[in-house]
Amino acid sequence: MNGIGKTTFIKMLAGVETPDEGAVNNPTLRVSYKPQYISQSSVPGTVEQVLRKSAGEKYGEQWFTAEVIDPLHVKRMLERDVKVLSGGELQRVAIAECLSRDSDIYLLDEPSAYLDVEERLAVARSIRRITKMRGVTAFVVEHDIVTQDFIADKLMVFTGEAGKSGHAGQPLSLEDGMNAFLEQMGVTFRRDADTKRPRVNKPGSRLDREQKESRNYYYTS
């Protein structure tokens, strides 16, 4: 659901916005933030210049090419000016820029926007690999179930009334978080036997009825 505070929450973690009450203060944490909306005019230069600036000495290292440049398909864009990129291209560059920085926590707001299914999975894999390799954390605001299924170890489910109020639930395991969210939506998921990706059960189908009766809205195997 839109308008219940997910983007505001991540902006406060990034230090872009301040809460009406209390404070968010983590002075010892290095934070790398990819906002929901990216302005081409705010990122001058070529793609290579942007990534060199964010990655520093890491830019020329083999692992950087293997874990960032190649999986996010930005190699062909390196000589292009950021201001001429399409929405999907700009999104991939912004994600690469975010993951290039040395950070204790990566904050990514809707990284799957403007990307097709395969690009979303490539982004999810890159986020997981880089955070695991560096032993750090990624906090990802995401609406796409498949993308979140590939990225997340834990979930925070947001509830509320659009434009009026929002509540961030406590961190849950992936299975418990997905189950809580899907129960709210009245939707059940199965895992596709061939692709192993989540698939929505047809409302009223045998699987849908069985999973709702057992309150297992998210597949368990």
- Give the residue-averaged pLDDT of 91-117: 95
Which are the contacts of 145, defined by CB distance < 8 A and separation ≥ 6?
178, 189, 198
Distance in angstroms (rounded) separating the CA atoms of residues 89 and 99: 16
115: its two tokens: 């990307």
Structural domains of the chain in order of their starting residue, each with its CATH number: 6-152 (3.40.50.300), 169-221 (no CATH)
The residue that leads in pLDDT, 219 or 22, is 219
Q: Is the pLDDT of residue 26 over 80?
A: no
Per-residue confidence (pLDDT) for residue 81, from 0 to 100: 94
Tokens 């709702």 label which residue?
212
Q: What is the pTM for the complete model shown? A: 0.88
pLDDT score for 25:
63
Does residue 104 carry a pLDDT above 70?
A: yes
Extract the tokens encoding 163.
């434009």
Q: Which has the minimum average pLDDT: 154-158, 182-186, 191-195? A: 191-195
Both structure tokens of 5: 């505070």
| CA separation for the pair 83, 185 (Å, rounded) | 39
pLDDT value at residue 169: 87
Question: Does the pLDDT at position 1 exceed 70?
Answer: no
Quick one: pLDDT at residue 52? 96
pLDDT of 15: 86
* Tens digit of each residue's pLDDT (9 = 90 or more) over 106-123: 999 999 999 998 999 999
